[in-house]
Amino acid sequence: MNLGRTVSRMISLAGLLACGWLMGGCSSTPETDAERQARWQQGNLTSWEIQHGIGPVVEDIQLAAVDNALAERGKAIFVQKCATCHYLDMKKTGPPLRDVTKRRSAEYVMNQILNPEQMGKMHPDGRQLVAQYAQFMTIQGITRDNTLELLDFLRSEAGNPPAPMEQQPGFGTPPPPPTADAK
């Protein structure tokens, strides 16, 4: 990872098991969407998937302490791409996110960002959120590296007190324009 720090990765036992069971011995061919869909329809999500989400992240992520530089980059991404639908402290188009890293594992957050459609269709919690908010999370061209930056931003905000509306990142409802005679 070219992120200025190490992210160590381990294949968890659960992940190994799931992988072996799914693909007949961890061959290099990744599961197709259709295969995953079929497995979901048979009620065959793994407990790892229930806990960490469904998506490209299939291994455990070990996060180091929050890196401020990363968190800053994460904030910029949040403002540009996430704040269209999320505040930190209140509902917008999607749920508030201040404490999401306390509620969810890093893997889960990453999978939610990288694979919102399957998370919304196939994961029980994802389905429940889609029902509640009446829409799927959008794909915004966020890379896997971006998700790690976003995680550090969200972790740095987790546990802080709620901020007023106008201090929410990305908040920008414009003021009414000056009247015609102003100029």
- Nearer of residues 83 and 154 to another protein, judged by Cβ: 83
Give the distance, in angstroms, between the CA of residue 14 and the centroid of all CA atoms in the same chain: 21
CB of 166 to another protein, least distance (A): 11
Contact 59/9 with Cβ under 8 angstroms? yes
- Nearer of residues 65 and 180 to another protein, judged by Cβ: 180
Backbone angles phi, psi at 10, to 5 degrees: -130, 140
- Nearer of residues 93 and 128 to another protein, judged by Cβ: 93
Phi-psi region of 177 (alpha: psi -120 to 50; beta: other; left: phi over 0): beta
Centre a 10 Å sphere on the Cβ of residue 22 and count the other Cβ atoms it contains. 18
CB of 43 to another protein, least distance (A): 25
CB of 81 to another protein, least distance (A): 8
| Type of residue at 44 | N
CB of 174 to another protein, least distance (A): 4
Contacts with another protein, residue ranges (CB under 8 A):
79-81, 83-85, 93, 134-136, 138-141, 170-180, 182-183
